Structure 1
């Protein structure tokens, strides 16, 4: 597998994960719309955080796509910690909403 193929496969994997998180966020927003006022208020802050994290993840995908083939590995290494934070934020939010 060439470096370009590896880069493209990695970016595609991240895009699929981001799509999954977007779908989860849609489900959580629908659930929140049907909830009581107190839950909606608590949810709004979490939703804003999730949208922010999603934007960070999308920005990282864009940076990886635009990186020269010889520089993308370094960007990928830096992306792992950001991606881990986004993953944890979504997992925490999903757990809270699933328990609601």
Structure 2
């Protein structure tokens, strides 16, 4: 996979996660008061992990053609962590 295809793939994932966070926030708003705090904490954690993944993507975008391969593994790891966090959150909601 070339650099631009990799960047496009990760951008698409970020867009998907933004939509997923919006859905979870809507569910949290409809939840009973005692669950809302728990849901909001989970959502905040997802947002932080999403920001971490976006930072890794930004590093890949800013890197030279020669250096982006070195950053690819870190970006993939951040996105995998985010994927796992979403799977966990879906189970809780």
Range class of TM-score, shorter chain: over 0.9
2:14 maps to which residue? Answer: 18
Query: Are residue 62 (structure 1) and residue 58 (structure 2) matched?
Result: yes
Tell which structure's C-alpha radius of gyration is larger: 1
The count of residues paired between Structure 1 and Structure 2 equals 93
State the shift of 1:27 in Å: 0.3
- 1:72 aligns with one of 68, 74, 79: 68
After alignment, is 74-83 or 57-66 more displaced? 74-83
Question: Gapped runs of 5+ residues in structure 2?
Answer: none
TM-score using structure 1 length:
0.88
TM-score using structure 2 length:
0.94
1:53 maps to which residue? Answer: 49
Partners of 1:64 and 1:76 within 8 A in 2? yes
Of structures 1 and 2, the one with the larger relative CO (CA 8 A, separation 6+) is 1
